[in-house]
Amino acid sequence: MNRFTTDKVLAHVILVLIGIAFVVPLLWMIFASFQPNATLSLQISKQWSLSNFGSILTDPANQRAFLNGILLSIGQSIIVVVVAGLAAYPLSRYQLKYKRPFMYVILFSTSLPITAVMVPVYELFVFIHMTDSLFWTMMFLSASGLPYAIWIMKNFMDSVPIELEEAAWTDGASTLTSLRSVVAPLMIPGIFTVGIFTFAGSWGNFFVPFILIQTPAKLPASVTIFQFFGQYGSVEYGQLAAFSMLYTIPAVLLYILGQRYMSRGFSFGGATKG
Amino acid sequence: MGNASVDVVSQPSKSKSKRGFRAGHTGWRAALFMLPSWVLLLVFFFVPILLTFYFAFTNLSLTGASSAATQFVGFRNFASMFADPTFRISVLKTIIFLIFSAVIGQQVLGLLLAILMNERNRVFRSVIGVLVLAGWVTPEIVVAFIFFAFFSNNGTFDMILGWFHIKAIAWLYTFPMVSVVVANIWHGTAFSMLVYQAALGDVPKEILESAEIDGAGRFQRLFRVTLPVIKGSIATNMVLITLQTLGLFTLIYSLTGGGPGNKTETLPIYMYQQAFSDYQLGYGTAISLILLVIGIIASFVYMRMLKIEM
């Protein structure tokens, strides 16, 4: 009995220590963002203020950066959900000769690191004059997110019973109509999983827009926050923390929003890319 | 995400029952449905991969004489790469980074967390779970800022060490590799934790109980029962994490920029420096090809593992 309880105590102590190790670095960002004279070390402030958030949010360049980021991420999410949804339909419903190899290519592509193709992608963009364009950046990001999205979408679609569709056809609905009015509503968890994953991945992606977009006015928040760090990061710690908070909040909200769908998406699997 | 893709590959028989589903012109229909994804994947994914194999053997450049006339140079890029001590250093840095942050750090910590949390009470488990997940949800670039502050001279870490009368040092300059490894463990561990939490749920309770009755201690049960049962998840998670860590750019680039010197210059950073700072695109592509080939091999290993599990 004694051994049993020491084991238990030890397990709890280790877990608490790991928990503390995880929360301490994060606390700096939260505290410093409310402190006008924040330093690099964690300190409990006597005065709390929203002035850091004010200066970040009132800067028109930052507003534009957030808007660019939202446009890029929403655009990419819509493209990925629609295109992957269309591709998943025949993969789930039809008996196709090349389905298995196709699914293997998709699975294979989910795990390739995108970093490895950024140099040739940049070359491609230069040759066909697509650099410095939010639209083409969005298209590239969409393509890089597609393999995972198709994989997840197909698996969600497999769980939608065919009988419902067949009933709709008997009533005279076309394939597209039944896809829209019967399959899509039942696919909402899948659509949310893919949409949220895509949005979060796009919102947090720094490397792709950093390489493909040059004009400051077109840059999304992920790159602007990096430039802010380069220019003011070593002076305005409070503002850097506030900017980081504002930039992190959408990702956190999406995660909370999508958690109940995501646990399902998680058990269905596939691979995410860094 | 993790092992679970297995579940899906393992049910191909499900679609068999749909043979003849709306038979007739399904081939055409299927092609139409898949056309948009094919076009996007072809133009932005498969063409760049093919281009990698081509440009890696050219002297493509953004400036200088060769920018006007790009020539095929055979294996010259690779020859100069292997002769370049910086390249060899960055291969070494990549391996060190992979081993400490992915193989040891995230894997072991993720597994430890999943095991320790397995039988704890709900509230306790979810509080710790949320703290670990916070690191995962935080965007990579913010992770870099957070650890910039944490490891700075007189930053939070130095403050904590100060309580134990340890002198403050600039961690990012003195121990840059430790700093990026810790930052990446903080960011990535939740992924492994989730994978292993799911895997531990699949370990049959009866086997564990009968092992306990037979007198197996905690560690014996772990090494003789639990680990062998979840070894498939461990292997697939290992490959996935290796792939993610191999391609890691943002965190290292914004935390240390590969420096000081080239102390944290992993292959992606070296590739970026050569291609975009020194404008040697052909040479940069040759480095991407190395990354890509490692990625392709790891992906094949990953697929084989899924096959084994099927």
In chain B, what residues touch A202 (CB-CB under 8 Å)? Answer: none
Closest partner residue to A95 (CB to CB) among B19, B29, B281 is B19
Could you give the angle at the alpha carbon of A92 between the alpha carbons of A91 and A97, nearest 5°?
Answer: 45
d(CA B30, CA B261): 54
pLDDT higher than 50, residue A54 = yes
pLDDT higher than 70, residue B48 = yes
What is residue A4's predicted lDDT score, i.e. its pLDDT? 63
Q: Residues B14, A161: contact at Cβ < 8 Å? A: no
Mean pLDDT of chain B: 83
* Tokens describing residue A250: 């959408």
pLDDT digits (tens, 9 = 90+) for A226-251: 998 888 766 788 899 999 999 999 98
What is residue A93's predicted lDDT score, i.e. its pLDDT? 82
pLDDT higher than 90, residue A84 = yes
Q: For chain A, say whether B216 makes contact (Cβ under 8 Å).
A: no
* Tokens describing residue A218: 């077109």
* Tokens describing residue A263: 């646990």
- Helices B231-246, B281-309: axis angle to 10 degrees equals 170
Cβ–Cβ gap A86/B142 under 8 Å: no
Contacts of B39 (CB under 8 A, 6+ apart): none
Cβ–Cβ gap A19/B4 under 8 Å: no
What residue of B is the nearest CA neighbor of A87? B34
Confidence class for position A143, pLDDT limits 50, 70, 90: very high
In chain B, what residues touch A112 (CB-CB under 8 Å)? Answer: 243, 292, 295-296, 299
Q: Residues B52, B45: contact at Cβ < 8 Å? A: no
Q: Which of A246, A249, A274, A242 is nearest to A33 (CA)?
A: A242
Cβ–Cβ gap B247/A122 under 8 Å: no
What is residue A38's predicted lDDT score, i.e. its pLDDT? 80
Cβ–Cβ gap A229/B218 under 8 Å: no
Neighbours of A169 (CB within 10 A): 14
Taking residues B46-51, report their average pLDDT: 90
pLDDT digits (tens, 9 = 90+) for A178-234: 878 888 888 888 888 899 889 988 999 999 999 999 999 999 999 999 998 888 766
What is residue A268's predicted lDDT score, i.e. its pLDDT? 37
Cβ–Cβ gap B139/A247 under 8 Å: yes
Q: Which of A24, A56, A27 is nearest to A242 (CA)?
A: A56
| pTM exceeding the 0.90 threshold for the entire prediction | no
B139-152 burial, b at 16+ Cβ within 10 Å, e below that, comes to bbbbbbbbbbbbbb
Element (H, E) at B97: helix B85-97
What is residue B145's predicted lDDT score, i.e. its pLDDT? 93
pLDDT digits (tens, 9 = 90+) for B63-120: 665 556 777 888 888 988 888 898 999 999 999 999 999 989 999 999 999 988 887 7
Question: Between the ranges A106-120, A256-270, B105-119, where is the mean pLDDT highest?
Answer: B105-119
Q: Mark which residues 68-107 of B lie under 8 Å from A by CB.
A: none
| Residue A90, preceding peptide bond in cis (omega within 30° of 0) | no
Identify how many contiguous H helices and E strands chain A contains and give both numbers: 13, 0
Look up tokens 């430790």; give the residue: B178
